[in-house]
Structure 1
Amino acid sequence: MIKAIALGKRKPGTSFEAFVEYYKTRHSKLGEKVMKRAGASRYIRHYVVPAVSGLHEEAAESDFDVVTEFWFPDMASFQECFAIAGGEMRDEFAEDEARFADRSAIRLFLQVEEDESDLS
């Protein structure tokens, strides 16, 4: 199993709610299209909800608004996915991301290993 993670940030002036709505209804559809073609096994988005601290009424600003997981059964599907996203669909992804995300803040980690604790 191969796993990659991306961290994303909303574009300045975009509310957290608008960012999540756009990602859920528009941008993730592009991701699904590529992931299905490449034979990926999972595509998960974790939205980082702004937290209100005990000292301030306002929600604290986070460095990132979404943590996205991309899971692949093998290296071939992993490579196929990123070849499609960085090749024939590169411009489409870039144009779509520019509508709601701060492209300069995106961080991509291309191979992540999990180490889960047994809490039983």
Structure 2
Amino acid sequence: MSDQKVFKYTLEHYRKEGVSEEAFVKWFREEHLPYGVPLMKKHGITKYAAHYRSPPLADAFHAILGQIRPTWEISKADLVLEYWMPSLDCLKNLVTDPEWNEMAADGEANWIDMSRSTIHVGYETAHLENGNFFDFAEKK
């Protein structure tokens, strides 16, 4: 496990009103990803993952969560995107690349309610990976 900090940027997106879940995922996978992922690699993004919301799974888990943590809310974001990179410059260079804006980001406003998108910015620290523990104090 490397001691180098990995910058992580997480973005939550919501479908635009009137866009079906099926059409949204199809657009993302077939139109956005083919342009976006090669550009991410070009600008030094080392890992990129998409988390697609499953309403039936969220609803089922909501009943369990309500018993354990009744004040917690399950996010209703339709898509959570995670970017890992060695520095914030990778992301800055990506989103200012004219090719990103002409190809990968083109048409997002037709699919995404940008007024509701939220981000998380920070460093990822793994504490358990492949059965190994990292970076925490031992029990006393």
TM-score category (smaller protein)? 0.7 to 0.9
User: How far does residue 118 in structure 1 lie from its aligned partner after superposition?
Assistant: 4.3
User: How far does residue 68 in structure 1 lie from its aligned partner after superposition?
Assistant: 0.5
Query: Size of the alignment, in residue pairs?
Result: 111
Equivalent residue number for residue 98 of structure 1: 109
User: 1:33-112 alignment to 2 at 5 Å?
Assistant: 33-51=38-56, 52=59, 63-72=76-85, 74-75=86-87, 78-88=88-98, 89-90=100-101, 92-109=103-120, 111-112=121-122
User: How far does residue 71 in structure 1 lie from its aligned partner after superposition?
Assistant: 0.9
Equivalent residue number for residue 68 of structure 2: none
Distance 1:115 1:2 in 2: 10
TM-score normalised by the chain length of structure 2? 0.64
Equivalent residue number for residue 66 of structure 2: none
Equivalent residue number for residue 114 of structure 1: 124
* Secondary structure at the counterpart of residue 12 of structure 1: coil
**CA, structure 1 residues 81+115, in 2 after alignment: closer, same or farther (shift >3 Å)?**
closer
Where does the alignment leave 5 or more consecutive residues of structure 1 unmatched?
56-61
CA contact (8 A) 1:85 1:93 kept: no
CA contact (8 A) 2:16 2:112 kept: yes
Equivalent residue number for residue 21 of structure 1: 26
* Secondary structure at the counterpart of residue 112 of structure 1: strand
Name the amino acid aligned to 2:84: W
Which one has a bigger Cα radius of gyration? Answer: 2
* Secondary structure at the counterpart of residue 107 of structure 2: helix
**CA, structure 1 residues 81+116, in 2 after alignment: closer, same or farther (shift >3 Å)?**
closer
User: How far does residue 16 in structure 1 lie from its aligned partner after superposition?
Assistant: 1.0
